Amino acid sequence: RRYAELLTQLPDEMQPVTACVYWLDILKGRHQIFKEFGIDVITNGHLMDPAFILRCNRNISRFKYLTGNKISSSAFYGLDMNIPFFLYGHRLDLTPSDPTYRAQFDGHPYMKRVVACLSFDSLDQVQVGTEQRALIEDYLEEDTWISPEKGKKIVWQHSPSVMVNKGMHEFK
């Protein structure tokens, strides 16, 4: 609730705000809080949907700024499209299935650098500068992230069984 309220307090230049909400959170009605504050809501759909990345890129390209209370893939996609991303509001705590994963992820030197580069003292400083562009180049070269095999396993374990009926069984 507090985060939705904070978004409405962004400067006029950053209005109107649109919230991109995870598809499962929409099914659970968690998007309603944004609507209560007059914030439009969109979703990129399910991660395993073949059109996910196209939808994500199309949605991102519509905006002048991107923000979040955590680092997500949209930060990197936006920066790659020269759209500034900035961290805003209280950091969101995630509860992953593997409790050590979040600690390893947050503690990774690259992620510490990402948080530092995307945290601005003032909203009028939000930009895609040299440091932010370097994040993209370094991200593409990073070889210590989770393996594709483990990533597929994690996604599969947390995807609804209905996805099997949509031809997603090859990711099992």
Condensed to tens digits (0 to 9), the pLDDT of residues 74-100 reads 888 899 899 999 999 876 555 455 556
| pLDDT recorded at residue 82 | 92
In 14-129, alpha helices (H)? 23-27, 32-36, 52-61, 73-80, 99-107, 109-117
Residues whose CB falls within 8 Å of the CB of residue 29, separated by 6 or more in sequence, listed in order: none
Question: pLDDT exceeding 90 applies to what percent of the chain?
Answer: 35
Extract the residue ranges of the chain whose pLDDT is less than 50: 95, 158-172
The whole-angstrom separation of Cα 41 and Cα 49 is 19
